[in-house]
């Protein structure tokens, strides 16, 4: 085959190979644009425009896994996860909107936050990394990772407000939160008050 014809063929193949990448980039851009509209219309009031809520009442969403965010939003809409504040916010939104919001928050910049009680956090580090072998509490790292990064199925914990994490652990303990992994019920019920507060403090220090 002549060199010029070969070059043309390679160029065409390169362009064709790039089409899925371009299409994916366009889809992501469209999702981000749609999500920004929703965030500025609803979410920013509690979670901040970039997912960095300033109040410990509301979770930080920056860096959270897209699939996890989308699933939680769907659970709020269906009533599997209860929240008088969140359920009105997801009314009228579609599964595509949930996916878009997940992609948006996953791509937001994550910031390191100061810890209120460093000594408490150091105790929490032991619980997070090694659990409590004397009471049967497993390490948080065994599921959420050593750095609290989580997976698409398990939430990223790193940098979360300590008070918010405390509240969720209590909700698991009391079976008030049932939409996620049931393993959390058996973990939360074994935590002492000190362990609960310590591990929540340590999680807030991660990035």
| 111 in a structural domain | no
What pLDDT sits at residue 149?
98
132, 81: one domain: no
- Number of domains making up the chain: 2
102, 125: one domain: no
CA distances 28 to 33, 52, 104, Å, are 9, 21, 9
pLDDT digits (tens, 9 = 90+) for 82-124: 999 999 999 999 999 999 999 999 999 999 999 999 999 999 9
Q: What is the DSSP string of 96-149?
A: HHHHHHHHHHHTSPP-----S-HHHHHHHHHHHHH-BTTTTBPPTHHHH-TTS-
Indicate if the pLDDT at residue 173 is higher than 80.
Answer: yes
127, 102: one domain: no
Is residue 153 within 8 A of residue 142, CB to CB? The reply is no
What percentage of residues in the chain have a pLDDT greater than 70? 90
Residue 132 bridge partners (DSSP)? 137
pTM of the model: 0.85
| 8 in a structural domain | no
Range of the domain at 99: 24-106
199, 124: one domain: yes
151, 200: one domain: yes
Indicate if the pLDDT at residue 194 is higher than 50.
Answer: yes
- Distance CA(102)–CA(69), nearest Å, equals 5
| 17 in a structural domain | no
53, 98: one domain: yes
Domain-terminating residue out of 106, 126, 142: 106
């Amino acid at each position: 085959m002549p060199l010029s014809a070969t070059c043309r063929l390679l160029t065409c193949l390169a362009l064709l190979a790039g089409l899925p990448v371009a299409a994916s980039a366009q889809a992501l851009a469209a999702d981000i644009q749609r999500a920004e509209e929703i965030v500025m219309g609803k979410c920013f009031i509690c979670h901040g425009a970039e997912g960095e809520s300033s109040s410990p009442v509301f979770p930080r969403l920056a860096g959270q896994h897209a699939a996890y965010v989308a699933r939680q939003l769907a659970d709020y809409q269906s009533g599997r996860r209860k929240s008088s504040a969140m359920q009105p916010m997801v009314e009228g939104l579609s599964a595509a909107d949930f996916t878009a919001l997940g992609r948006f928050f996953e791509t937001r910049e994550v910031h390191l936050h100061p810890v209120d009680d460093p000594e408490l956090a150091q105790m929490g580090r032991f619980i997070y990394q090694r659990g409590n072998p004397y009471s049967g509490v497993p390490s948080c790292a065994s599921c959420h990772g050593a750095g609290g990064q989580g997976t698409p199925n398990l939430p990223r914990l790193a940098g979360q407000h300590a008070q918010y994490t405390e509240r969720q652990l209590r909700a698991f303990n009391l079976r008030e939160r049932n939409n996620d992994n049931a393993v959390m019920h058996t973990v939360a019920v074994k935590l002492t008050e000190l362990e609960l507060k310590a591990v929540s403090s340590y999680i807030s220090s991660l990035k």
